[in-house]
């Protein structure tokens, strides 16, 4: 069936470096994509979203890139901080659906 | 508080018991969602309400799972005759209006079935 997946289950990054978390999606009908951050014991927290008519969107220290040709989504975090340690999920949906499909998640580990 | 709240935060049930999980969405949010999150996995959609109407329950794993939102605000997810495979974190989320509005998640209820 349709699915959203991630390339790496765990990513270790030096504090202060940039982090890049990747995600592949398979539903070509998806037109809205979201990145969530989930800290231990908490619910997912919205980070940034992007619609299929865009290929890049920037927030505060975060950038999401969308490549529809290869069905690839990435989250870039600039100047990674200890507070960025969490599991990051990409998710997809479309205007024709009423559910969000989450990927399995990537754990971001910050090295001191 | 301003966020989505869920209770209880932790629930331990013996196999065969019924449980009820509560979600208080953000005031004024029309849409409410329930998700199930197994350990090490992403949340999986269970059901969706728009006001008091349950518009999609296709994600409910069996007829032992039942959700309601009778007054279009607080929602309850009920699981009857719990099984060990029901052990998971149950997340509730609400959004202002339609699906593509930002969904705000509660902290979840961790259910452990012994």
Q: Which of A5, A59, A100 is nearest to B34 (CA)?
A: A100
Would an 8 Å CB–CB cutoff place A46 in contact with chain B? yes
- Using the beta-carbon criterion (under 8 Å), do B45 and A101 form an inter-chain contact? yes
Tens of each residue's pLDDT in chain B, 114 residues? 579 999 999 999 999 999 999 999 999 999 999 999 998 889 999 999 999 999 999 999 999 999 999 999 999 999 999 999 999 999 999 999 876 678 899 999 999 999
The per-residue pLDDT for B84 is 96
pLDDT confidence band for A99 (50 / 70 / 90)? confident
What DSSP designation does B41 have?
A: S
Q: Rounded mean pLDDT of A81-102?
A: 88
Read off the tokens for A64: 């999401």
- Using the beta-carbon criterion (under 8 Å), do B44 and A93 form an inter-chain contact? no
With tokens 């865009």, the residue in question is A54
- Using the beta-carbon criterion (under 8 Å), do A32 and B102 form an inter-chain contact? no
Neighbours of B92 (CB within 10 A): 28
- What span, in angstroms and rounded, lies between the C-alpha atoms of A19 and A12? 9
**Widest CA span in chain A:** 44
């Amino acid at each position: 069936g349709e699915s959203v997946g991630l390339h790496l289950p765990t990513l270790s990054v030096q504090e202060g470096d940039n982090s890049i978390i990747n995600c592949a999606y398979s539903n070509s009908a998806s037109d809205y994509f979201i990145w969530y951050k989930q800290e231990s014991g908490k619910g997912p927290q919205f980070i940034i979203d992007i619609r299929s008519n865009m290929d890049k969107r920037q927030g505060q220290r975060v950038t999401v890139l969308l490549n529809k040709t290869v069905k690839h989504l990435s989250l870039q975090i600039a100047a990674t901080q200890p507070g960025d340690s969490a599991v990051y999920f990409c998710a997809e949906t479309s205007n024709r659906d009423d559910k969000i499909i989450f990927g399995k998640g990537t754990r971001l580990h910050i090295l001191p | 508080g301003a966020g989505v709240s869920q209770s209880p935060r932790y629930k331990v049930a013996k196999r065969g018991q019924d449980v009820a999980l509560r979600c208080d969405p953000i005031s004024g949010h029309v849409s409410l969602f329930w998700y199930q999150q197994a350990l090490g996995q992403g949340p999986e959609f269970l059901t969706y309400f728009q006001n008091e109407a349950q518009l999609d329950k296709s994600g409910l794993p069996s007829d032992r799972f039942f959700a309601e939102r009778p007054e279009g605000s607080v929602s309850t997810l009920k699981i009857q005759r719990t099984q060990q495979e029901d052990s998971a974190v149950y997340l509730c989320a609400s959004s202002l209006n339609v699906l593509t509005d930002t969904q705000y998640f509660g902290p979840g209820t961790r259910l452990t079935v012994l």
